[in-house]
Structure 1
Amino acid sequence: MSFQAYIDNIQSKTGKTPADFNKLAEKRGFIIDGKLNPKVKATEITNWLKEEFELGHGHAMAIYATFKGKTE
């Protein structure tokens, strides 16, 4: 599955874009000034995405990758 397919599937399932997730992550302190908070581990973020949005691990990692700047 391509990266874009992961993003499309996430948007279909949750109704949220990567930008929406980015805003939510900022509110939780996972992202500060547009960058990942170095005190936060990837597992904390993926667990949040799995629990709150019922994403699978691969899909949660795709959103995490967008937080790191991946776009393709």
Structure 2
Amino acid sequence: MSFQAYLDTIEAKTGLTPRQLVDIGKERGYDDPAVKATVIVEWLKDDYGLGRGHAMALVHVIKNGPTISTKHVGTDGVHRDESEQLWLDGAATNPARH
């Protein structure tokens, strides 16, 4: 599953765009480098029912922003992404999908 697919699934499960969840996380101070991933994972599990893999995708975006490694960009593996920039504003508005 691509990184973007994780974010799209999170949106489908929670009804919130990745950007909305990132903003909530930042309001809670989870973008502070001192905050451990386990704290964020627990929040996402308790409040939104997300599993560890999906939660860790959001941890990355909360902590590092929407840029990902180019390791899988343009490859043909199952973890491939179209771009190193993740789309956070909802699957329906993603220009790469249209």
- TM-score normalised according to structure 2 size: 0.62
Unaligned runs of 5+ in 2: 68-84, 87-98
The SS at the match of 1:16 is: coil
Aligned length: 67
Please list, as runs of the form range in 1=range in 2, the aligned pairs for 1:5-44 lying within 5 A after superposition. Answer: 5-30=5-30, 36-44=31-39
Q: Deviation string for 1:6-59 (max 9, x for gaps)?
A: 1111101111112101211122121xxxxx202211110111111110001000
The one-letter amino acid paired with 2:18 is P
Q: Which of the pair is proportionally richer in strand?
A: 1
The one-letter amino acid paired with 2:56 is M
**Percent of aligned positions that are identical:** 48
Once residues 38 and 5 of structure 1 are traced to their aligned partners in structure 2, the CA distance between those partners, rounded to angstroms, is 26
The one-letter amino acid paired with 1:44 is V
Larger Rg: 2
- RMSD of equivalent CA atoms: 1.3
- Dislocated runs of 4+, deviation >3 Å: none
Q: Which of the pair is proportionally richer in helix?
A: 1
Once residues 5 and 33 of structure 2 are traced to their aligned partners in structure 1, the CA distance between those partners, rounded to angstroms, is 28
